[in-house]
Amino acid sequence: MKFVIERTKVQYGQIFGVPVYTLGLKDCKVDLGAGLYPDWFAAIVNVPADCGSRAIAKELESNGADFIFLNHEATSEIKPKLLPHDILIPVYEINEKSNYAFLQEITRKGDGTILTITMPYPKSSKGIATIEFFYTPTNFRTFKYLEEIEKVLELLNNHVQFEPFVVLYSNPRNPTSKNCRDKGKYCAPDPDNDGKFTGRDVVDEMLRQKCVYKLGAKEWISYMKGYQQRCLNNITLKCSHSTISKLLSLKVSNLNKCVLESESVISGVNNLPRENTILEAEMAKLKESHEMTFPALYVNGQRYEGHVRGNEILIRTCDTFDIKPQVCTEIELEFEGRQISMFWSILIYLYILLLGLLVIAFACIAIAKRAATREVNLQVKKSVAHYYQMKESDTLT
């Protein structure tokens, strides 16, 4: 069973399996009975006309419910948007007329049955979805993501706003670390385990990549693909400049200017680490998202948890549009077509399998009959021969 709920303060893109319980009311107060409910559960309450949804929802939340279904009885009128803003769990108002099958299924299966609840991603604003990508340029999985992200960006075009964010860390306790710059303020893991290059080289490359994005967002993926082919094992300024000159319309001089202008020096202070405005913004974004793993993809501010495939990312992003772009309709038709095609393929396979089994069965029956006929004929011959032997014996006697 799947029930879709939209709410601003839930983990979108997640699928939850939660036990559901039907609870009663006494004088508009929730009757929890013995109260022996698990720490994680959903509650369904039948709400009569003379009881308010606000108090019921708040009471359920305070007693540990994680999902609430308020069932307005057939004789009751649904009161729109009566829930208070301080309720932080999903609340869905249903009624017996529209949701009869759902309620009957819950009643049939009884308390404790597992309900699958899918949380869609937040809606896109003004027909534009936001996709954010957290990565490090030395992780090979980054480029698998990029390959699939590129497909989505090409198809959605002006309906998506994309921005990459680099994953780095601070190490103020070791300001002289070779893997850091600016006295330990910005660091990255050593890319080749004490080889030729250091984390400092990676941080510098991260800064150049962010400048490429800022100067020409549509050229960023082209640069990253060139970086993968040419510079992944040669993380140097020279390789970066060469890639830009050969593959992009961007001027190297503009890149150098971006890098230089991002450096912030406090006049008259020498002992404090310098601050880089671009890298500082990246650090702030990481703190805001609490992202600790990478690569990671976010759709409208919520982490994408599906397979790293362009079509799947596109379908999840398309779900966020109220008015879907044409490409979304096309991909849905293609997806449905594949599902139908798969259905018929399975059906044909089962038909052929059944036909094959029938042929084998008839062949086995025919072989068995033939063997039985031979056996009977053999026994008849033996009996006849025995009979003649006995007759000849009687004659001699």
Residue pLDDT, tens place only, 13-38: 555 678 888 888 888 888 887 767 88
For the chain, give the longest Cα–Cα distance: 143
pLDDT at 156 (0 to 100): 93
The band of 150, judged by pLDDT with boundaries at 50, 70 and 90, is: very high
pLDDT at 255 (0 to 100): 96
pLDDT at 327 (0 to 100): 87
pLDDT at 395 (0 to 100): 57
pLDDT at 356 (0 to 100): 83
pLDDT at 95 (0 to 100): 83
Q: What is the mean pLDDT of residues 360-369?
A: 83
Which residues neighbour 395 within 8 Å (Cβ) at sequence distance 6 or greater? none
Percent of the chain with pLDDT over 90: 38
pLDDT at 208 (0 to 100): 97
CATH superfamily assigned to domain 129-332: Glutaredoxin (3.40.30.10)
pLDDT at 83 (0 to 100): 46
Whether the pLDDT of residue 172 is over 50: the answer is yes
pLDDT at 291 (0 to 100): 67
The pTM of the full predicted model, rounded to 2 decimals, is 0.61
Across the chain, what does the average pLDDT equal? 82
Q: What is the mean pLDDT of residues 228-240?
A: 96
- 139, 27 Cβ separation under 8 angstroms: no
Q: What is the mean pLDDT of residues 258-273?
A: 71
Distance CA 9, CA 25 (A): 27
The band of 369, judged by pLDDT with boundaries at 50, 70 and 90, is: confident
Distance CA 321, CA 280 (A): 32
Whether the pLDDT of residue 328 is over 90: the answer is no
Percent of the chain with pLDDT over 70: 80
pLDDT at 65 (0 to 100): 85
What are the domain boundaries of the chain? 2-118, 129-332
CATH of domain 2-118: 3.50.30
Q: Which of 93-102, 141-150, 156-165, 310-319 has the lowest mean pLDDT?
A: 93-102
